Structure 1
Amino acid sequence: MRRPFLTAAGIALGVVLLTDVLRVWLPSIITIFGQAASTPAELMGGFALLWFVGAFAVVPLLRPLGPRGVAVVAGVALAGCRLGLLATGGGQAQLYVASAGLLAGLVWLAATAVTGAAPAHGLVLGLAAGTAVHAAVGTFDLTWQGNPLAWSVIALLCLAFAVLLPGVTNHTTDSAPGPAAWFVVGPVLLLWTMVAGSPALAGTAVSYALGEESGIAGPAPGSALATAVLSAVSVGLLAAGALLPRPGVAVSVAAALTLCAGTAVFALSWGSGLVAAIPATALGLGLALRASGLRAGDPTTGTRQRGFAAVGGMTLFAVAAVLYYASYDIGYPNDWVPPAVAVVVAVIAGRPPYPRVEPARSWAPLPVAVVATLAAGLLMPTGARGTGTTATPGTVRVVAYNIRMGFGLDGRFDLAGLTAAIAARRPDVVLLSEVDRAWLLNGGHDTLALLADRLDMPYRFAPAADAVWGDAVLTRLPVVYTATSRLRAAGAPTGAQALGVVLDLGGKELAVVSTHLQPPPDDGPVSQAREVAAFARGFAAGRPLVVGGDLNTQPGDPAFAVFTDAGLVDGFANDRPLPTSPADAPREQIDHLLVSPDVGVTEVEAPRTEASDHLPVSATLTVF
């Protein structure tokens, strides 16, 4: 006899484990296989698609091999790889264990589809549970924590999944979902983890809405509660849309409108518009899932189509994610990708005939998921909010660091290494480049909030490539004024900006500009250097000035000369050579602090660490 809740719970746990594997696999493709963009994009794309091709090859074999047995074996392999990721320690082992886990997850998904199990209830429950768990760990995935608690939690999840596996596929029914119901799993998973169900994006949206100042985000009182509420509302809207008792034409139209509107706002927003994009996308996904629902069919026919549909939907997940994020390395418009995926979901969900009403009892845990998400959201890091002068009047310790979205040379998210490298310098001001606040490609972390929280330093964040990728200034010193200026791409695919912060040094003021220049292909960032120099001079307005960050230019280059010609002084001139990249064998001098003549620079350091692909640079600045 079929037990809907057990089926839904088993699928939900599988979705949680598969999502966790994807949060490791995606950044591993970039940082380990891609070696920070030194590998051609075509080769990275081919490697990624290879694992999906493998899953497609298995689908025709599912019927003769027995899909229930294959689902159990593949599910156990997925759980084993998820647990094994804790033990890899990064590098090639991490890449291939994550890849094997992905393949196992795809085969499990396809085999489960072939058996005739219905995905909708389990998918919604899994998405809600995944958001609650990711919020509870503060977006700092358990894989990267690797402590006894992480081992215990993941082991329990894997054990529960293994226990439920036989029950997911061991059922009898007079009908089965059509292929469309399984195809939407992949695109729905993408839009949920990228937009609607991302706690990191919720936290970033709140930091814009509550701490916004001229397009600059920062922590504000009530950030934690507001983030928790936004995440819980998103889960609630997903469940509410999926619970509608009578799906029909109106539901399909509402799904299309809200889903497309939410994803469009997400793609185009550079600030507090994200607060609207998240719940709209969540409601649209819930309505779309309800509209797709179960379409009665013979469980003994169409089995191969359901398997292919499940893998095909996940392939769309991969292709769309690559198309969206690769634009920041290759250079082409990408704001159409999320709405395009939304259109695919809406079209598939809106096709008649409309599904019959499903039993409500398998949805009972969803209110618990909403409450759990609200409680978990209160644990989200928001960064310190208070300020207080810690520096000697007129003297300030500065660190500039390109943190590569938080990933070390071993391909692991190295929050501890970053924190140690910065904290050891005892900084008053930290300038960060390549700050990621919610990219699914990098695991969906709010790297800035996590780092600011551990350093106990308030932050100011300015977007560069999109609303959640840019540069930041962290400081406990009182902030007098802030401003930001977006820089022209000039042929460089990744966006750039200049973030200015005026600090009170106890009677004296210092203008600080944090930037990350993006050179166009086969050229230096000369035009962006001119823009930054002009912005910095105007922003400082006669105050002592420091410009710092990853400038992607070396002393003697034309772009570097732009700054010195503008009256700035190479703060590291007396300590050259000072190579900072790559971190394991530094030979390029591309991370700098340039100062106005009324600022002295001493105690220069570029400490060795592999917490990023750059070394941090630090110095003590004295304002005369």
Structure 2
Amino acid sequence: MRFRRLVLSVLAVAAALVPAVPAQPAQAAPPPVRALTFNICGNVCRHGETAATSANIAYRIYHLRASVTMLQEVCYSQFLAVQARLAPLGYRATFAPATTGGHCDNYDKKHGRTFGVAIVARGTFASRVIYRLPTPYGAAPEGRVVLGATVRLTGRTVFVVTTHTTTSGPNLKKQLNVLRSWLAPIAATSPVIFGGDLNSQPQDNALDGFYNAFTEANRSRVSPLPTFIPIPRKIDYLFGSPGFLTPAGVARAYTGYSDHCMYLGVFR
């Protein structure tokens, strides 16, 4: 018993001599990701007009404090103007040509009257990919692409993807299946934001795979915010990978020049 008391007293003294380790401060959460998607209808609705259209889009991106913005139906000339306005404010942008817009400015020999999709980010691009979406069931009047970019934002890196699918029919279902098969495995292991005009409503079965693999910014599949104006309905989406991006709120804005609303989703 005496030996046991001696051992305990020695251990107590030794413990007292060990310097206290200061508690590590909790790591601050990265800033929320403010994701914006907008089909600007730059060819049909805006007839390719550049100055006023790009000025308004750049103004809204900046004042909405968008971390990443996904644009669809944007003429290349409009993209260049948005890019030029936002570059001095710390934004970077990338463009993917999809087809030719008859009203778009014939800005340069490389792109001509091209229009397509774009990503604008308040960060840097680590890489990007462009794929053409399949149209196996007859010739499509308009080409469709998907644009993805690995974006380094403050505190985190996100794979941002945008597209504008075909309007209807079997090609639409095929394109959505291809997108889901590509993106769902990536979203299971890393932060992904997938947004754009999917020409589908939330109740459509073709979107089941996206709602299973992602969390939509609006959360509600039953009564979400409409984003298409002529016939109020939701066809624009912002999907975030669960476990990495948690929806914190949504908003929409009418611009007066597009048949779509700007759709903003905040992810934490």
**Which residue of structure 1 aligns with residue 161 of structure 2?**
513
1:537/1:394 Cα in 2 relative to 1: closer, same or farther (>3 Å)? farther
Q: Which amino acid aligns with 1:536?
A: L
SS in 2 for 1:609: coil
Deviations 1:374-397 (A, max 9, x none): xxxxxxxxxxxxxxxxxx825211
**Which residue of structure 2 aligns with residue 526 of structure 1?**
173
Q: Which amino acid aligns with 2:236?
A: D
1:481/1:538 Cα in 2 relative to 1: closer, same or farther (>3 Å)? farther
**Which residue of structure 1 aligns with residue 130 of structure 2?**
484
* RMSD, aligned α-carbons: 2.7
* Contact 2:216–2:247 under 8 Å retained in 1: no
Query: Which has the larger Rg?
Result: 1
- How far did 1:472 drift? 0.8
**Mapping of 1:316-331 within 5 angstroms?**
none
**Which residue of structure 2 aligns with residue 597 of structure 1?**
242
Q: Does 1:433 align with 2:75?
A: no
Larger relative strand fraction: 2
User: C-alpha separation between the residues in 1 aligned to 2:46 and 2:119?
Assistant: 24
Q: Which amino acid aligns with 1:402?
A: N
Deviations 1:312-368 (A, max 9, x none): xxxxxxxxxxxxxxxxxxxxxxxxxxxxxxxxxxxxxxxxxxxxxxxxxxxxxxxxx
1:607/1:460 Cα in 2 relative to 1: closer, same or farther (>3 Å)? same
1:556 is aligned, of 193, 197, 203, to: 203
Q: Does 1:458 align with 2:92?
A: yes
Q: Which of structures 1 and 2 has the larger relative contact order (alpha carbons within 8 angstroms, sep 6+)?
A: 2
* Contact 2:188–2:241 under 8 Å retained in 1: no
Q: Does 1:612 align with 2:258?
A: yes
Q: Does 1:400 align with 2:37?
A: yes
Deviations 1:159-214 (A, max 9, x none): xxxxxxxxxxxxxxxxxxxxxxxxxxxxxxxxxxxxxxxxxxxxxxxxxxxxxxxx
1:511/1:412 Cα in 2 relative to 1: closer, same or farther (>3 Å)? closer
Q: Does 1:472 align with 2:118?
A: yes
User: C-alpha separation between the residues in 1 aligned to 2:189 and 2:57?
Assistant: 34
User: C-alpha separation between the residues in 2 aligned to 1:406 and 1:601?
Assistant: 32
Deviations 1:395-423 (A, max 9, x none): 21111000112665799654133334433
Q: With the length of structure 1 as denominator, give the TM-score of the two structures.
A: 0.33
Q: Does 1:542 align with 2:173?
A: no
1:509/1:562 Cα in 2 relative to 1: closer, same or farther (>3 Å)? same
Q: Does 1:580 align with 2:219?
A: no
Q: Which amino acid aligns with 2:131?
A: S
- How far did 1:511 drift? 1.3
**Mapping of 1:240-279 within 5 angstroms?**
none
Q: Does 1:417 align with 2:59?
A: no
User: C-alpha separation between the residues in 2 aligned to 1:448 and 1:412?
Assistant: 11
* Contact 2:134–2:171 under 8 Å retained in 1: no
User: C-alpha separation between the residues in 2 aligned to 1:409 and 1:469?
Assistant: 12
User: C-alpha separation between the residues in 1 aligned to 2:117 and 2:249?
Assistant: 24
The more displaced of 502-511 and 533-542 is 533-542
- How far did 1:434 drift? 0.9
User: C-alpha separation between the residues in 2 aligned to 1:412 and 1:474?
Assistant: 20
- How far did 1:529 drift? 0.7
SS in 1 for 2:177: helix
1:539/1:596 Cα in 2 relative to 1: closer, same or farther (>3 Å)? closer
Q: With the length of structure 2 as denominator, give the TM-score of the two structures.
A: 0.72
- How far did 1:617 drift? 0.3
* Contact 1:395–1:505 under 8 Å retained in 2: no
Q: Which amino acid aligns with 2:66?
A: P
1:586/1:573 Cα in 2 relative to 1: closer, same or farther (>3 Å)? farther
SS in 2 for 1:512: strand
Deviations 1:541-576 (A, max 9, x none): 7211111001110101022223124x1122212494
Task: Count matched residues.
Answer: 219
Deviations 1:491-525 (A, max 9, x none): 4421112111112234432111111111345x572
User: C-alpha separation between the residues in 2 aligned to 1:486 and 1:506?
Assistant: 30
* Contact 1:581–1:614 under 8 Å retained in 2: yes
* Contact 1:526–1:558 under 8 Å retained in 2: no
User: C-alpha separation between the residues in 2 aligned to 1:616 and 1:436?
Assistant: 17
Q: Which amino acid aligns with 1:563?
A: F
* Structure 1: gaps (5+ residues): 1-391, 438-445
1:495/1:512 Cα in 2 relative to 1: closer, same or farther (>3 Å)? same
Larger relative helix fraction: 1
**Which residue of structure 1 aligns with residue 79 of structure 2?**
448
Q: Which amino acid aligns with 1:544?
A: P
**Mapping of 1:50-69 within 5 angstroms?**
none
Q: Which amino acid aligns with 2:141?
A: P
**Mapping of 1:152-231 within 5 angstroms?**
none
Q: Which amino acid aligns with 1:432?
A: L
Q: Does 1:500 align with 2:148?
A: yes
1:507/1:423 Cα in 2 relative to 1: closer, same or farther (>3 Å)? closer
1:614/1:432 Cα in 2 relative to 1: closer, same or farther (>3 Å)? same
Deviations 1:284-325 (A, max 9, x none): xxxxxxxxxxxxxxxxxxxxxxxxxxxxxxxxxxxxxxxxxx
* Contact 2:33–2:266 under 8 Å retained in 1: yes
* Contact 2:131–2:145 under 8 Å retained in 1: yes
Q: Which amino acid aligns with 1:472?
A: A
Q: Which amino acid aligns with 1:559?
A: A
* Contact 2:215–2:239 under 8 Å retained in 1: yes
1:549/1:450 Cα in 2 relative to 1: closer, same or farther (>3 Å)? same
SS in 1 for 2:237: strand
* Contact 1:524–1:558 under 8 Å retained in 2: no
Q: Which amino acid aligns with 1:555?
A: P
Report sequence identity in percent: 29
